[in-house]
Structure 1
Amino acid sequence: MLQINEAEAAKARWIYTGIAYAALLAAVAWSVVDEKATPNLTPTLALSGAAAVWIGLIARWWPVWPRNRVWSVVAYVGLVSLNTALVYSSDAFASFVWIGFPYAFAIFPARWAVFAVTANAISTFAIQTNGMRDSSPFVVILAVAGPVIFAGWVAGLESERRKRAIGELTETNQRLATAMEENAGLHAQLLAQAREAGVLDERQRMAREIHDTLAQELAALIRQLHAANRVREHPEQWQHHMDQVRMLAERGLSEARRSVQALRPAPLEKSRLPDAIAEMARVWSQACGMPVQTETTGTPEPMLPGIEVALFRVVQEALANIAKHANATRVGITLSYLEDVVLLDVRDDGAGFEPGGTAPGADSGYGLGTMRQRLLGVGGTLEIESRPGEGTAIGASVPAIRAEAGAEAGAEAGAEAGIEAGTAGGTVTG
């Protein structure tokens, strides 16, 4: 059977059926008008009705043919039998018998359609010629050869169509194989890039963590050692500085382990952000001998862990820069909780610097740059105001994304819920 898609099959069904009914109607009209062609009209009309019903059944069960050989044979044998009977009853139906030729290719595969066409041609021609006794051999050969040649021509067309379809399918498969190879290469490239990006991100994270933890602790530890060296003649003061050295070393080791495991800073695991900042300021004030005033405004709420870590590290880095470069006498830290943002201000009355110049600590490659990166990672911003001799003010702004909202949205895990609101404030002196 001709290989066509469903849309073409539906269209072909109505075309075949329409042509068959038109040919049948024309033959019936001819048989009624021409009395010589139809000696007995009643059986002719009865056979015509049967042919009309049979053609309707063929149209009704059209989709079954490709899947049921028995029904295909029954359908075509019935059509040929009715053709033969109609030609026998009336010469007018000689104009109808040809309908069996296209139906053969609609019902059977091309290789079997040739035999079906031949059978239809022989049976109908034999009836018309009284068993072929009334015709010359040339006419018999022509009557049979004509349909067979037609069948061969149609079969050739179908063969060419199949060759083209196979060629197109082969070409499509080749393109698909090429595309799959390219896709595999792109996939491997993406994996390599993802690995490289992951390695780079991890290196940057570790660099920030080392700078914010180990480097700061080591710097403080060195300051304590220098201070201890200056008071060697005073055992109590020396012991105090050595205790600070031990505490800084233990804390640095703990923070290093937490950095490797990508955990939050220990103070944030134990306390709210305002309390953790206040405790960090207290320890720093004792170590540096500089007063620090901490203040919290608004209603403190637990934010996403990443946001709290970023703010905590900004304060840590700002205090480290003040200790190393500012020569300040006072430091102020304000944490403000607003409706949609959280603001952090760290101020000192130290040496300051030209805003257009190089900020103290910028030559290390981290410092202020690390602050900006951390804040940018959580959608925040960093602003710096400073003048030589008038101190420096660092302002950080981050979106106020509550821990509960972040958890519901599938954000970072580990959000701390149920923390009571409160206000923390005070003055710490060293």
Structure 2
Amino acid sequence: MSAAKDDGGRWERHSDILFGGLPYLLLLLSTGLSLLHGGQADRHRLTTLGLAAVAAAWILGTYTLQTGRRSRQAYGTVRTAVYFAGLLVVAAVLMARDTVFMLFAATGFLQALVLLPTVWAFVCVAATSFVVNTVPDGFPEPSTTAVVGYLAGIAFQTVVIGWINLLSSRLNEQHQRRKRTVAELRSALAENAGLHAQLITQAREAGVHDERQRMAGEIHDTLAQGLAGIIRQLEAAEDAEHDRERFRRHVVAAKDLARESLAEARRSVQALRPEQLESRTLPDALEALAHGWSDERELSVGFETHGTAAPLHAELEATLYRVAQEALTNIAKHAEASKVGITLSYMDDLVVLDVLDDGVGFDPVSAAAAAGRSGGHGLGLVAMRRRLRRVAGTLDIESARGEGTAISAAVPVIPLEAGE
């Protein structure tokens, strides 16, 4: 493309130079042929050279210097018309001395439609044809045949030469439009390439940010909770150091929690769903979670399923399971509850997880404000909202001091696809 562009630009420069030098070339050729004619006196030749010099000066002052290197472009109707008028006057004077200067007068034919609008261009072509057909032989005899032939010749030249020049002009205009279109396309492609690179950078940064949030949530839901459970078991074992059976039971529980946390951490790094969902349905996994949590804390946890259970998209089930984990963790840390209830409801277009407790409750507005001031770090409700937002889910919280808490997480129904 670059080589083609260079060749095209070089050709245009050469064409521009040739067109700009065309009047001088035809003037020089006509002058040379005139001087080579025999039988001319030196004084006659000097006059011819003087008139040719005047013609060259007129072209230089009114055309070449006015257009610079853009000699194929129009530079104003009035100035161009003045240039043509002077050109035809000088050409007529030179043709009156020698008809060979008809070559020079042909400059008007070649330049008119390139430098002037269509109507003015045909006027100049007609004027050039008038000069070429009148100056050498004068006006025709006052007879119908002669006058008709004379006018027909001018009309024919005007139409044919004008049409050829007009066609050339239109082709040149189309070429210029194509050049502009190509330039605009190149510019648009360059701009699109820049935008594409910017979008890739933004997508990469967004992906890194999302992955950091995912890992933060997974660490919070697996390692942090697992380590907290291990600490509780070890503290209980320490308190039961004189009761060998209780001591052993708490140590074994701590080991089991450590193994489970390690396995979950590995699965989180590999972006896999929780192990509890690999071999169980979501209702079964939540029921097992409720029973295990209840046994560990000796606190009653009820679990119910409403509606017809159906497999969901893996990420939706993992999200609801993690929300249930986080809700139970928050209850264990803050609620001081005596009863907990978990309900999983399957509806036509939603699956809703409700976790209720009869604990001390809290002010959701104050909690949200505290999360905003702290950037949301370390607050389980923020992690829940973030998880649900990633799957187009919602989280509703109802709570008040001394009245317990109700957490409701809803996700859209997206069935599990074959092969997942």
Mark yes or no: TM-score above 0.5.
yes
Q: Which whole-Å deviations, capped at 9, do the CAs of 1:174-232 have from their partners, x for residues lacking one?
A: 11111111111111111111111111111111111111111111111111122122222
1:291 partner amino acid: S
Structure 1 partner of 2:413 = 400
Give the root-mean-square deviation of aligned CA atoms. 2.9
Structure 2 partner of 1:42 = none
Structure 2 partner of 1:221 = 230
Alpha-carbon distance, 1:144 to partner: 7.4
Structure 1 partner of 2:265 = 256
Structure 2 partner of 1:238 = 247
> In structure 2, what is the Cα distance between the partners aligned to 1:385 and 1:147?
95
Structure 1 partner of 2:336 = 327
Q: Which whole-Å deviations, capped at 9, do the CAs of 1:351-401 have from their partners, x for residues lacking one?
A: 211233227995644411121222233333222222222322212223333
Which runs of 5 or more residues in structure 2 are unaligned? 1-146
> In structure 1, what is the Cα distance between the partners aligned to 2:196 and 2:224?
40
3-state SS, counterpart of residue 389 of structure 2 = helix
Change beyond 3 A, Cα 1:277–1:263: same
Does residue 285 in structure 1 map to residue 298 in structure 2? no
Moved more, 227-236 or 355-364: 355-364
3-state SS, counterpart of residue 270 of structure 1 = coil
Change beyond 3 A, Cα 1:360–1:217: farther
> In structure 2, what is the Cα distance between the partners aligned to 1:252 and 1:199?
24
Aligned residues: 272
3-state SS, counterpart of residue 410 of structure 2 = strand
Change beyond 3 A, Cα 1:341–1:261: same
3-state SS, counterpart of residue 273 of structure 2 = coil
2:212 pairs with 180, 203, 217, which one?
A: 203
3-state SS, counterpart of residue 361 of structure 2 = coil
> In structure 2, what is the Cα distance between the partners aligned to 1:231 and 1:384?
38
Does residue 389 in structure 1 map to residue 398 in structure 2? no
Does residue 177 in structure 1 map to residue 186 in structure 2? yes
Alpha-carbon distance, 1:317 to partner: 0.3
Structure 2 partner of 1:304 = 313
3-state SS, counterpart of residue 278 of structure 2 = helix
> In structure 2, what is the Cα distance between the partners aligned to 1:312 and 1:284?
13
2:196 pairs with 187, 199, 202, which one?
A: 187
Alpha-carbon distance, 1:150 to partner: 4.8
> In structure 2, what is the Cα distance between the partners aligned to 1:287 and 1:170?
78
1:367 pairs with 369, 380, 403, which one?
A: 380
Does residue 377 in structure 1 map to residue 390 in structure 2? yes
3-state SS, counterpart of residue 184 of structure 2 = helix
> In structure 1, what is the Cα distance between the partners aligned to 2:368 and 2:182?
62
- Contact 1:321–1:360, Cα closer than 8 Å, also in 2: no
> In structure 2, what is the Cα distance between the partners aligned to 1:271 and 1:344?
17
Equivalent runs, 1:2-401 vs 2, <5 Å = 147=156, 150-358=159-367, 364-401=377-414
Structure 1 partner of 2:21 = none
- Contact 1:353–1:360, Cα closer than 8 Å, also in 2: no
Alpha-carbon distance, 1:146 to partner: 7.1
Structure 1 partner of 2:55 = none
Alpha-carbon distance, 1:277 to partner: 0.8
> In structure 2, what is the Cα distance between the partners aligned to 1:244 and 1:360?
37
2:339 partner amino acid: R
Alpha-carbon distance, 1:259 to partner: 1.1
2:388 partner amino acid: L
1:352 partner amino acid: G
Q: TM-score, normalised by structure 2?
A: 0.59
Alpha-carbon distance, 1:265 to partner: 0.6
3-state SS, counterpart of residue 201 of structure 2 = helix
Q: Which whole-Å deviations, capped at 9, do the CAs of 1:306-361 have from their partners, x for residues lacking one?
A: 22112111110011111111122222212222333322221222221123322799
> In structure 1, what is the Cα distance between the partners aligned to 2:160 and 2:204?
64
Alpha-carbon distance, 1:143 to partner: 8.1
Q: Which whole-Å deviations, capped at 9, do the CAs of 1:255-280 have from their partners, x for residues lacking one?
A: 11111111111111111111101111
Alpha-carbon distance, 1:170 to partner: 1.4
Change beyond 3 A, Cα 1:145–1:338: closer
- Contact 1:353–1:359, Cα closer than 8 Å, also in 2: no
Q: TM-score, normalised by structure 1?
A: 0.58
Change beyond 3 A, Cα 1:393–1:149: closer
1:263 partner amino acid: L
Which runs of 5 or more residues in structure 1 are unaligned? 1-137, 415-430
Alpha-carbon distance, 1:166 to partner: 1.8
Alpha-carbon distance, 1:147 to partner: 4.5
- Contact 1:334–1:344, Cα closer than 8 Å, also in 2: yes
- Contact 1:333–1:346, Cα closer than 8 Å, also in 2: yes
2:394 partner amino acid: T
Change beyond 3 A, Cα 1:173–1:298: closer
